Structure 1
Amino acid sequence: MSGTPVRAGDAVLDLAGRVVDLVSRLAGTAAQAEVTVVRAESALTRFANSAIHQNVAASSVNVRLRVHLAGRTAAGSGNAVTADGLRALVERVLTAARFTPPDPAWPGLTPAAPVASAPEWDPATAHAGPDQRAALVRAFVDAAGGLVTAGYCRTGHRVTAFANSAGHSAQGQAAEAAMDGIARAGGADGTARQHADRVADLDGAGLGRRAAAKARAAAHPVELPPGRYPVVLEPAAVADLLQNLAWYGFNGRRYAERQSFAVPGTAQFDRAVTLVDDPLAVSGLPFDLEGTPTRALTLVDAGTTRAVAHDRRSAAELGVASTGHAWAGGATFGPIPRNLRLTPAGTAGATDSSGAPLAGGHGVVDPEPPAAALVTGGPATDGAIGDPDTAALVSRMERGLLVSDLWYTRVLDPLSLVVTGLTRNGLWLVEDGRVTRAVRDLRFTESYPRALAPGSVLELGRRSVRLPDRTDGVWWEGPSLRLASWNFTGGASG
């Protein structure tokens, strides 16, 4: 209609349809084609030495084409959206398809199907300017109280459209914001991170205070011998558990290749553990790279493994349906959950799936911790506990370690998911429910499923924290955890 504005989603959907039509014109109706068009706008404000040193912004349009022709499959992408650029992309992919090996496992295209509307997204986040990000950085730096700080604040907006030659199409938009910062006191570091679907929800001052308190509390660490210790893992450390479980455990390709620990229908985890991948819980896209509608997928329900993530290829290999987890790296790494949440509550009041109370004190922490839980061992450890939720878990630990973060984690055995890595950004000894001293970083070697196995998860906090990944649109969310045992195998140097 004349005078009707063209929406961004309509523009990219039209572009996707044009590429599908072009494949048909150049290769005939025997060619099966699927196209994803992403228009992305991202902006990043970096700071170091407590001052902003870089503001960058990027805007791009990427067209990804996959073609199946004469039993062979090829894919390619480009960012030239002129008529000549699109034709060059199509010709390049068609040429590749003629020379690639046969693909007998081709699962076919996603048939036309209804796709849910995308969740609400925040225009203010999509169009956030450098002044808004600078204000958040200033709040972080000021709240650190003179400590040297560094980090970033980022905002982004994606408009995505999909079309294929089976007549299926979909479109959606998403916006997100994230902040990650570090404060340093002498040789000790403290960090704080946050992911949100609204830039207005980022708390720069709160993150700065938390990072600084952690750094001050981590000063003058003592050595502890390696061994198995009970632990409280804060949300940043829990995020590493979720990321590795997603990549190596709930990955449909690894499951099909028998390289995953996952055994659906088996109680592999403590009853307090429920894992849900839910891209639509916040601003996200209602379809994947193959156009399959996305939905919440319960991977673990009250300790019992229920599912793994699939794209069309891994699903076809096992004779099941795709769960909507195709993504740009899936051809190499397989389909993975990328919006994974550890539900902080066998929440139906700490009950199991039958409604019976959880035995042995397992479940969710009390909503208000006792006052003593907020008392630490003195000025040297003030600030080690970042929030009352974690304090409640610490208060019920007789002797163990409080772990802020895990990093440099590497998988040693994918099948049992044995991971080695280091603690980082704060490690403290807990005695009689109180943080008493900072501890030098330790190396660990631990099977993540074993650490979360039946009887191993003593408590979950009530407050979930959503943390950013390095990749836009990916996040990990969970509360603090109190675990019965964690295997520390040496100092940070070995």
Structure 2
Amino acid sequence: MSTPQEDLATAAVEAVGRALPGADVTVEADRHEVALTRFAGSVIHQNVAEDVTTVRVLVHHEGRTAAGSASVVGAGDLDRLVERVAASTRVAPADPSWPGLLAPVDPAHATPPDEATAHASPTDRAEVVRAFVDGAAGLETAGYCRTTHRHSALASSAGQLVSGRAAECGLAGVARAEATEGRADGVARAMPLRLADLDGTALGARAAAKARAWAEPVELEPGRYEVVLEPDAVSDLLTNLAFGAFNGKAVNERRSFVRVGASQFDPAVTVVDDPLAVGVGYDSQGTPRQRLVLVEDGVTRHVTHDRRTAAEAGTTSTGHDAENRFGTGPSARHLGIVPTDGFDAVADEADGPAADASVAALVAGVERGLLVTDFWYTRVLDPRTLSITGLTRNGVWLVEDGRVTRPVKNFRFTQAYEQALAPGNVRAVGRTATPIPGDTYTATSPRFSCPALHLASWNFTGGASG
């Protein structure tokens, strides 16, 4: 028995075929159920949910390519979408690099969604929030807990018809402590595969411990410091590597430093994209997804490709086509640095600024440096080296002789992420990885698996105020 999404995708392919006989057509029909429970002042103040079905149509006809998407409620919405894309195709510029459609192929096997997460209620999310508030032990808290459920189908004029489901959850929260100068914030984030594994109490306690430890920070001179980056900070490295470095379009256009086969990273670094751990088993072109090793022991092995970038590079798609086909290019959305003792371990809790035992072990190896919780407001200065400028937040501490000695005021930094993970600059990788959520609001948020990193040098260029 077919699903409603399969029927919708098939109907759209047939409608385009009637409007543009002989056209190559791919249609995705996705139903996204996204629910978000927000809290501030330690009280839930908003519970929102949306249930939206979106149809995306890609057409190639007589050498021209166009695409469009729309939320579909009734038959008239689909008809209007097809008319709009057909009209755009007729006047689109020539597309000589069209890679053609994929022949019918079975999707890869992905981890089935957790049903309790897929069908979580506001009460289920409220219980996680309650646990976070209780874990913060009296500190003011704010943040969100979200769950998503995706039903997807893809059909093409080449005879492809595949479907799948996925569910995700995540929490991000801060705890705030009063300090002599303003307030001190601590943060905790996690994105496990099951809502039952989202330990609100432990996350609240972690955020509170950081907030209490970041009281009365001192200002240090800018310069290059040895650092331990916690998982939240590492997630920014992975975000920029995914979209700006390992992206096949960026590599083809020589906007990326990545070169397959080169020893570009420290031997301690292995980077893997694993979309099959959570998600649908095919990409937006119907290509089966795969677990892809991008870096192995410091050597770049692969980059992410869709069918278009793969054809340009003379290789095959890795199953990383994105919804925004003509924009940023194929990117890894489930990227992770492999920790020293396995990929999916759960961090043990520890007291103080080094909020888990894996981080504390790295701090013990620092002679004089900084423990950094989080980065934000990061912007690319040079895409060829992934030179990034940004700010620290949610806690920075001075480390001396393996011990956290005092809180430090926020820094601005300017750092080439290529150099940050280069041979000789990675002193250690944490033994556990924390799954960190990406964008709060998108229905298919990235999920990055982040161990802490001990780096020999990070370039801090000034205080946060300038």
Alignment partner, residue 290 of structure 2: 295
Does residue 492 of the first structure (1) align with residue 464 of the second (2)? yes
- Matched residue of 1:231: which SS? strand
Q: 1:446-465: per-residue Cα shift (whole Å, max 9, x none)?
A: 11111111111111111110
Q: Distance in 2 between matches of 1:453 and 1:80?
A: 47
Moved more, 395-404 or 85-94: 85-94
The alpha-carbon deviation at position 96 of structure 1 amounts to 0.7
Does the residue aligned with 1:104 lie in a helix, a strand or coil? coil
SS at match of 1:154: strand
Question: What does residue range 335-346 of structure 1 map to in structure 2 within 5 Å?
Answer: 335-345=330-340
1:193-342 correspondence to structure 2 within 5 Å: 193-281=189-277, 283-342=278-337
Secondary structure of the residue aligned to 1:146 is coil
Counterpart residue identity of residue 199, structure 1: L
* Alignment of 1:447 onto 2:416: yes
**Pick from 10, 27, 34: which aligns with 2:26?**
34
- 1:285 is displaced (CA, Å) by 0.9
- TM-score for both structures, normalised by structure 2: 0.95
Q: What residue number does 1:86 align with?
A: 78
Aligned to 1:354: none
1:479 and 2:455 correspond: no
Given candidates 10, 14, 25, the residue that maps to 1:21 is: 14
The letter of the residue matching 2:302 is A
Contact 2:184 2:214 in 1 (8 A): yes
Alpha-carbon offset, residue 133 of structure 1 = 0.7
8 Å CA contact 1:118–1:173 kept in 2: the answer is: no
Q: Distance in 2 between matches of 1:347 and 1:58?
A: 36
Shift of 1:244: 0.6
In the other structure, the counterpart of 1:191 is 187
- Corresponding letter in the other structure for 1:338: R
1:158 is matched by which residue type in structure 2?
R
Query: 1:91, CA displacement in angstroms?
Result: 1.4
Other-structure match for 1:433: 402
Provide the C-alpha distance between the structure 2 equivalents of 1:307 and 1:144, rounded to a whole number of angstroms.
42
Could you tell me which runs of 5 or more consecutive residues in structure 1 were left unpaired when the two chains were aligned: 1-5, 349-366, 375-381
Identity %: 55
Q: 1:11 aligns with which of 4, 14, 17?
A: 4
CA deviations on 1:395-432 (whole Å, 9 max, x unpaired) are: 11111100111111111110011111111100000011
> Which residue matches 2:169?
177
Deviation at 1:368, TM superposition (A): 10
Residue 198 of structure 1: how far off its partner (Å):
1.0
Aligned pair count reads 456
User: In structure 1, what is the Cα distance between the partners aligned to 2:445 and 2:101?
Assistant: 24
Residue by residue, what CA displacement relative to the aligned partner does 1:252-306 show, whole Å, maximum 9, x if unpaired? 111111000001100000001000111002x211101111110011110100011
Q: 1:329: how far off?
A: 2.2
Letter in 2 for 1:402: L
SS of alignment partner, residue 243 of structure 2: helix
Partner Cα distance (2:103, 2:254) in 1:
29
Q: Are the aligned partners of 2:66 and 2:88 in contact in 1 as well (CA < 8 Å)?
A: yes
- Which residue identity does 1:400 align to in structure 2? G
Q: Over aligned residues, Cα RMSD in angstroms?
A: 1.7
TM-score by length of 1: 0.90
Of 146-155 and 328-337, deviating more is 328-337
1:425 is paired with a residue whose SS is: strand
Contact map agreement 1:182 1:191 (CA 8 A) in 2:
yes
- State the Cα deviation string for residues 298-333 of structure 1 (Å, max 9, x = none): 110100011111111111111111111111123211
Conservation of the 8 A alpha-carbon contact between 2:341 and 2:432: no
Residue 379 of structure 1: aligned partner: none
Q: In structure 1, which of residues 108, 111, 127 is the aligned counterpart of residue 103 of structure 2? A: 111
Distance 2:358 2:72 in 1: 50
CA distance in 2, matches of 1:202, 1:142: 14
Aligned 8 A contact 2:109 2:276 in 1: no
Letter paired with 1:272: A
1:69 aligns with 2:61: yes
Q: What is the letter of the counterpart of residue 336 of structure 2? A: R
Pairing 1:129–2:100 present: no
Distance in 2 (CA, whole Å) between partners of 1:346 and 1:193 is 21
> Contact 1:191/1:211 (CA < 8 Å) preserved in 2?
yes
Question: Amino acid of the residue matched to residue 462 of structure 2?
Answer: G
Q: What corresponds to 2:37 in structure 1?
A: 45
1:441 and 1:126 map into 2 onto residues whose CA distance is: 39
Q: Which of 427, 445, 448 is equivalent to 1:458?
A: 427
Using the TM superposition, give the Cα deviation of residue 435 of structure 1 relative to its aligned residue in structure 2, in angstroms.
0.3
Give a deviation string over 1:220-272, Cα, whole Å, max 9, x none.
Answer: 00010011111001111111111111111011111111000001100000001
1:347 positional shift = 6.0
Q: What secondary structure is seen at the aligned counterpart in 1 of 2:381?
A: strand
Residue in 1 aligned with 2:88? Answer: 96
Call closer, same or farther: CA 1:346–1:121 in 2, change over 3 Å.
closer
Aligned mates of 2:312, 2:218 — CA distance in 1? 52
- Following superposition, the deviation at residue 116 of structure 1 comes to 2.2
Q: Is the CA contact 2:342–2:432 (under 8 Å) kept in the aligned structure 1?
A: no
* Whole-angstrom distance in 2 between the partners of 1:408 and 1:368: 29
> Letter of the aligned partner of 1:475 in structure 2?
R
2:339–2:430 contact (8 Å) kept in structure 1: yes
Structure 1 Cα separation of the partners of residues 314 and 49 of structure 2: 44
Which is worse superposed, 74-83 or 213-222?
A: 74-83
